[in-house]
Amino acid sequence: MANKLFDFTTTDTILIEKSLTGNKEALENLIKKHQDWIYNIALTFVGDKDEAADLTQEVLIKIVTKLDSFKQKSSFKTWVYRIVKNHFLNMKRGKYEINAPTFEQFGQGLDQLPSESLSDYSYEVENKLLVKEAKISCMKGMLLCLDREQRMIYIIGELFEFKDTIGSDIMEISKGNFRVKLHRAKKQLYNFMDNKCGLINKSNPCRCSRKTAGFIKMGFVDPVNLHFQKKTIASINKVIDKKVETYKGEVISEYQKLFQEHPFVQSPDKLKSIKKLLSSEAIKETFNFD
Protein backbone atom coordinates (compact mmCIF):
# COMPACT_ATOMS: atom_id res chain seq x y z
CA MET A 1 0.00 0.00 0.00
CA ALA A 2 1.38 3.41 -0.96
CA ASN A 3 2.30 5.84 1.81
CA LYS A 4 0.03 8.82 2.22
CA LEU A 5 1.62 12.01 0.97
CA PHE A 6 -0.72 14.44 2.76
CA ASP A 7 -2.44 14.79 6.13
CA PHE A 8 -4.15 17.45 8.25
CA THR A 9 -0.82 19.21 8.89
CA THR A 10 -0.35 19.88 5.17
CA THR A 11 -1.20 23.49 4.40
CA ASP A 12 -4.24 24.41 2.35
CA THR A 13 -1.97 26.12 -0.18
CA ILE A 14 -0.08 22.92 -0.92
CA LEU A 15 -3.26 20.83 -1.04
CA ILE A 16 -4.87 23.30 -3.45
CA GLU A 17 -1.82 23.39 -5.72
CA LYS A 18 -1.61 19.59 -5.84
CA SER A 19 -5.38 19.22 -6.28
CA LEU A 20 -5.36 21.50 -9.31
CA THR A 21 -2.71 19.32 -10.95
CA GLY A 22 -5.08 16.35 -10.65
CA ASN A 23 -3.84 14.83 -7.40
CA LYS A 24 -6.90 13.05 -5.98
CA GLU A 25 -5.34 12.36 -2.58
CA ALA A 26 -4.60 16.06 -2.07
CA LEU A 27 -8.18 17.01 -2.92
CA GLU A 28 -9.53 14.31 -0.61
CA ASN A 29 -7.43 15.68 2.26
CA LEU A 30 -8.46 19.26 1.51
CA ILE A 31 -12.10 18.20 1.78
CA LYS A 32 -11.49 16.28 5.00
CA LYS A 33 -9.85 19.31 6.63
CA HIS A 34 -12.94 21.47 6.17
CA GLN A 35 -15.87 19.05 6.01
CA ASP A 36 -16.54 18.78 9.76
CA TRP A 37 -16.52 22.56 10.16
CA ILE A 38 -18.97 23.05 7.32
CA TYR A 39 -21.21 20.30 8.69
CA ASN A 40 -21.29 21.80 12.20
CA ILE A 41 -22.14 25.24 10.84
CA ALA A 42 -24.89 23.65 8.75
CA LEU A 43 -26.21 21.64 11.71
CA THR A 44 -26.46 24.78 13.82
CA PHE A 45 -27.96 26.75 10.94
CA VAL A 46 -30.79 24.33 10.07
CA GLY A 47 -31.09 22.22 13.23
CA ASP A 48 -31.43 18.90 11.37
CA LYS A 49 -28.65 16.36 10.82
CA ASP A 50 -29.94 15.03 7.47
CA GLU A 51 -30.38 18.49 5.98
CA ALA A 52 -26.98 19.47 7.35
CA ALA A 53 -25.36 16.46 5.66
CA ASP A 54 -27.00 17.37 2.33
CA LEU A 55 -25.94 20.99 2.64
CA THR A 56 -22.39 19.96 3.42
CA GLN A 57 -22.25 17.86 0.27
CA GLU A 58 -23.72 20.68 -1.84
CA VAL A 59 -21.24 23.21 -0.47
CA LEU A 60 -18.26 20.89 -0.94
CA ILE A 61 -19.21 20.40 -4.59
CA LYS A 62 -19.29 24.18 -5.04
CA ILE A 63 -15.94 24.58 -3.31
CA VAL A 64 -14.06 21.99 -5.35
CA THR A 65 -15.61 22.98 -8.68
CA LYS A 66 -14.65 26.62 -8.02
CA LEU A 67 -11.25 25.81 -6.57
CA ASP A 68 -9.35 27.18 -9.56
CA SER A 69 -11.02 30.57 -8.96
CA PHE A 70 -9.46 30.94 -5.50
CA LYS A 71 -6.98 33.81 -5.93
CA GLN A 72 -5.53 33.81 -2.37
CA LYS A 73 -6.77 37.36 -1.72
CA SER A 74 -8.01 36.04 1.63
CA SER A 75 -7.34 32.85 3.58
CA PHE A 76 -8.79 29.71 2.04
CA LYS A 77 -10.93 29.26 5.16
CA THR A 78 -12.48 32.70 4.67
CA TRP A 79 -13.11 31.94 0.99
CA VAL A 80 -14.74 28.62 1.95
CA TYR A 81 -17.06 30.23 4.49
CA ARG A 82 -18.08 32.92 2.03
CA ILE A 83 -19.31 30.12 -0.24
CA VAL A 84 -21.03 28.54 2.78
CA LYS A 85 -22.70 31.86 3.61
CA ASN A 86 -23.92 32.49 0.06
CA HIS A 87 -25.29 28.96 -0.25
CA PHE A 88 -27.02 28.97 3.13
CA LEU A 89 -28.60 32.39 2.73
CA ASN A 90 -30.05 31.55 -0.68
CA MET A 91 -31.02 27.87 -0.34
CA LYS A 92 -34.57 26.52 -0.19
CA ARG A 93 -36.01 26.58 3.32
CA GLY A 94 -35.80 23.30 5.21
CA LYS A 95 -38.39 21.52 7.34
CA TYR A 96 -37.71 23.56 10.49
CA GLU A 97 -37.08 26.84 8.68
CA ILE A 98 -40.20 26.79 6.55
CA ASN A 99 -42.38 27.38 9.60
CA ALA A 100 -39.76 28.99 11.79
CA PRO A 101 -41.41 30.74 14.75
CA THR A 102 -40.76 34.17 16.18
CA PHE A 103 -39.23 34.29 19.64
CA GLU A 104 -42.69 35.02 21.02
CA GLN A 105 -44.18 31.97 19.30
CA PHE A 106 -41.28 29.79 20.38
CA GLY A 107 -41.81 30.88 23.98
CA GLN A 108 -45.52 30.14 23.76
CA GLY A 109 -44.72 26.68 22.46
CA LEU A 110 -42.49 26.01 25.46
CA ASP A 111 -45.19 27.26 27.82
CA GLN A 112 -47.76 24.94 26.26
CA LEU A 113 -45.47 21.92 26.53
CA PRO A 114 -46.40 19.96 29.68
CA SER A 115 -43.82 19.73 32.46
CA GLU A 116 -43.31 16.03 33.08
CA SER A 117 -40.83 13.82 34.89
CA LEU A 118 -38.72 11.50 32.75
CA SER A 119 -38.98 8.93 35.53
CA ASP A 120 -42.56 8.33 34.39
CA TYR A 121 -41.20 6.89 31.13
CA SER A 122 -38.74 4.18 30.17
CA TYR A 123 -36.09 4.79 27.51
CA GLU A 124 -32.98 2.82 26.62
CA VAL A 125 -30.81 5.94 26.63
CA GLU A 126 -29.77 7.44 29.96
CA ASN A 127 -32.05 10.25 31.13
CA LYS A 128 -29.15 12.68 31.50
CA LEU A 129 -28.28 12.22 27.82
CA LEU A 130 -31.90 12.71 26.81
CA VAL A 131 -32.07 15.92 28.83
CA LYS A 132 -28.84 17.15 27.23
CA GLU A 133 -30.27 16.36 23.78
CA ALA A 134 -33.44 18.29 24.64
CA LYS A 135 -31.37 21.26 25.82
CA ILE A 136 -29.31 21.33 22.63
CA SER A 137 -32.41 20.88 20.47
CA CYS A 138 -34.20 23.71 22.26
CA MET A 139 -31.24 26.07 21.95
CA LYS A 140 -30.83 25.31 18.24
CA GLY A 141 -34.55 25.98 17.93
CA MET A 142 -34.01 29.40 19.50
CA LEU A 143 -31.46 30.20 16.79
CA LEU A 144 -34.09 29.48 14.12
CA CYS A 145 -36.04 32.45 15.49
CA LEU A 146 -33.29 34.69 14.11
CA ASP A 147 -33.45 35.53 10.42
CA ARG A 148 -30.89 33.84 8.17
CA GLU A 149 -28.39 36.67 8.09
CA GLN A 150 -28.55 37.14 11.86
CA ARG A 151 -28.16 33.40 12.41
CA MET A 152 -25.13 33.18 10.15
CA ILE A 153 -23.50 36.19 11.79
CA TYR A 154 -24.20 34.76 15.25
CA ILE A 155 -22.72 31.38 14.33
CA ILE A 156 -19.49 32.76 12.91
CA GLY A 157 -19.12 35.76 15.22
CA GLU A 158 -20.26 34.42 18.60
CA LEU A 159 -20.34 30.65 18.43
CA PHE A 160 -17.12 30.08 16.45
CA GLU A 161 -15.57 33.43 17.43
CA PHE A 162 -14.38 34.67 14.04
CA LYS A 163 -12.85 38.13 14.40
CA ASP A 164 -14.80 41.02 12.89
CA THR A 165 -12.10 41.39 10.21
CA ILE A 166 -12.85 37.84 9.03
CA GLY A 167 -16.58 37.90 9.77
CA SER A 168 -17.10 41.06 7.74
CA ASP A 169 -15.12 39.53 4.86
CA ILE A 170 -17.28 36.40 4.94
CA MET A 171 -20.55 38.37 5.13
CA GLU A 172 -19.23 40.97 2.65
CA ILE A 173 -20.14 43.92 4.87
CA SER A 174 -18.07 46.45 6.81
CA LYS A 175 -16.50 45.55 10.14
CA GLY A 176 -18.70 48.11 11.88
CA ASN A 177 -21.84 46.72 10.26
CA PHE A 178 -20.82 43.20 11.20
CA ARG A 179 -20.41 44.20 14.85
CA VAL A 180 -23.75 46.01 14.88
CA LYS A 181 -25.61 43.06 13.33
CA LEU A 182 -23.91 40.62 15.71
CA HIS A 183 -24.87 42.78 18.69
CA ARG A 184 -28.51 42.89 17.55
CA ALA A 185 -28.67 39.13 17.03
CA LYS A 186 -27.18 38.49 20.47
CA LYS A 187 -29.52 41.00 22.09
CA GLN A 188 -32.64 39.36 20.61
CA LEU A 189 -31.51 35.85 21.48
CA TYR A 190 -30.23 36.61 24.96
CA ASN A 191 -33.22 38.79 25.91
CA PHE A 192 -35.43 35.82 25.07
CA MET A 193 -33.31 33.52 27.22
CA ASP A 194 -33.41 36.03 30.09
CA ASN A 195 -37.20 35.97 30.05
CA LYS A 196 -37.76 32.27 29.35
CA CYS A 197 -34.78 29.99 29.96
CA GLY A 198 -34.18 28.43 33.38
CA LEU A 199 -30.55 27.80 32.43
CA ILE A 200 -29.92 31.54 32.59
CA ASN A 201 -32.52 32.89 34.98
CA LYS A 202 -33.35 30.51 37.81
CA SER A 203 -36.65 32.32 38.41
CA ASN A 204 -37.89 31.16 34.99
CA PRO A 205 -40.00 27.99 35.33
CA CYS A 206 -38.81 26.33 32.10
CA ARG A 207 -36.50 23.40 32.89
CA CYS A 208 -34.89 21.11 30.31
CA SER A 209 -35.49 18.02 32.45
CA ARG A 210 -39.22 18.78 32.71
CA LYS A 211 -39.65 19.44 28.97
CA THR A 212 -37.65 16.48 27.63
CA ALA A 213 -40.58 14.02 27.56
CA GLY A 214 -42.59 16.57 25.58
CA PHE A 215 -39.72 17.10 23.14
CA ILE A 216 -39.58 13.34 22.60
CA LYS A 217 -43.35 13.15 21.96
CA MET A 218 -43.13 16.01 19.45
CA GLY A 219 -40.25 14.34 17.60
CA PHE A 220 -37.63 16.97 18.43
CA VAL A 221 -35.65 14.42 20.44
CA ASP A 222 -35.09 10.88 19.20
CA PRO A 223 -34.66 8.65 22.26
CA VAL A 224 -32.86 6.03 20.15
CA ASN A 225 -30.51 8.19 18.04
CA LEU A 226 -29.16 11.30 19.69
CA HIS A 227 -28.68 13.53 16.65
CA PHE A 228 -26.63 16.23 18.36
CA GLN A 229 -24.36 13.98 20.43
CA LYS A 230 -23.51 11.18 18.01
CA LYS A 231 -19.85 10.98 16.96
CA THR A 232 -18.83 13.90 19.14
CA ILE A 233 -15.29 15.12 18.47
CA ALA A 234 -15.23 17.69 21.28
CA SER A 235 -17.28 20.59 22.56
CA ILE A 236 -17.27 23.65 20.32
CA ASN A 237 -15.23 25.68 22.80
CA LYS A 238 -12.43 23.10 22.50
CA VAL A 239 -12.05 23.34 18.72
CA ILE A 240 -12.41 27.05 18.01
CA ASP A 241 -9.49 29.42 17.55
CA LYS A 242 -9.77 31.87 20.43
CA LYS A 243 -10.17 35.35 19.00
CA VAL A 244 -7.55 37.98 19.73
CA GLU A 245 -10.01 40.84 19.66
CA THR A 246 -13.08 41.09 21.86
CA TYR A 247 -16.10 43.27 21.37
CA LYS A 248 -15.76 45.34 24.49
CA GLY A 249 -18.90 45.45 26.59
CA GLU A 250 -20.75 43.14 24.21
CA VAL A 251 -19.64 39.63 25.14
CA ILE A 252 -22.18 38.04 27.48
CA SER A 253 -20.15 35.06 28.57
CA GLU A 254 -22.81 33.03 30.38
CA TYR A 255 -24.93 32.81 27.22
CA GLN A 256 -22.01 32.26 24.89
CA LYS A 257 -20.65 29.55 27.17
CA LEU A 258 -23.93 27.60 26.99
CA PHE A 259 -23.89 27.54 23.20
CA GLN A 260 -20.17 26.77 22.99
CA GLU A 261 -20.65 23.75 25.25
CA HIS A 262 -22.62 22.10 22.43
CA PRO A 263 -20.88 19.12 20.82
CA PHE A 264 -18.73 19.58 17.72
CA VAL A 265 -19.59 16.41 15.82
CA GLN A 266 -18.12 14.45 12.95
CA SER A 267 -19.83 14.78 9.61
CA PRO A 268 -21.78 11.55 9.01
CA ASP A 269 -20.47 8.93 6.58
CA LYS A 270 -17.41 11.08 5.99
CA LEU A 271 -15.35 8.66 3.89
CA LYS A 272 -18.35 7.44 1.93
CA SER A 273 -19.51 10.96 1.09
CA ILE A 274 -16.01 12.04 0.07
CA LYS A 275 -15.61 9.04 -2.24
CA LYS A 276 -19.02 9.77 -3.75
CA LEU A 277 -18.09 13.41 -4.23
CA LEU A 278 -14.77 12.61 -5.90
CA SER A 279 -16.42 10.11 -8.24
CA SER A 280 -19.00 12.63 -9.51
CA GLU A 281 -18.73 13.66 -13.16
CA ALA A 282 -18.40 17.35 -12.30
CA ILE A 283 -15.32 16.69 -10.15
CA LYS A 284 -13.77 14.25 -12.63
CA GLU A 285 -14.07 16.81 -15.42
CA THR A 286 -12.74 19.65 -13.30
CA PHE A 287 -9.64 17.79 -12.09
CA ASN A 288 -9.08 15.31 -14.90
CA PHE A 289 -9.44 12.31 -12.61
CA ASP A 290 -9.65 8.89 -14.21
- pLDDT tens digits, residue range 53-90? 999 999 998 998 899 999 888 899 999 999 999 999 99
| Residue ranges per structural domain of the chain | 7-99+266-290, 100-224+232-262
Give percent of the chain with pLDDT exceeding 70.
91
Please tell me the distance from the alpha carbon of residue 247 to that of residue 172, in angstroms, as a whole number.
19
Q: Is the pLDDT of residue 274 over 70?
A: yes
The SS3 call for residue 154 is helix
Alpha helices by DSSP H, the chain: 12-20, 24-46, 49-65, 76-90, 103-112, 127-143, 148-154, 164-171, 175-196, 208-217, 236-239, 253-260, 270-278, 281-287
Q: Is the pLDDT of residue 173 over 80?
A: yes
Please tell me the distance from the alpha carbon of residue 103 to that of residue 119, in angstroms, as a whole number.
30
What does the mean pLDDT of the chain come to?
89
93: amino acid identity, one letter: R
**More confident site: 287 or 204:** 204
Work out the pLDDT band at 289, boundaries 50, 70, 90: low
Work out the pLDDT band at 9, boundaries 50, 70, 90: confident
Answer whether CATH 3.40.50.720 is correct for domain 7-99+266-290.
no
Give percent of the chain with pLDDT exceeding 90.
69
Work out the pLDDT band at 251, boundaries 50, 70, 90: very low
Work out the pLDDT band at 119, boundaries 50, 70, 90: confident
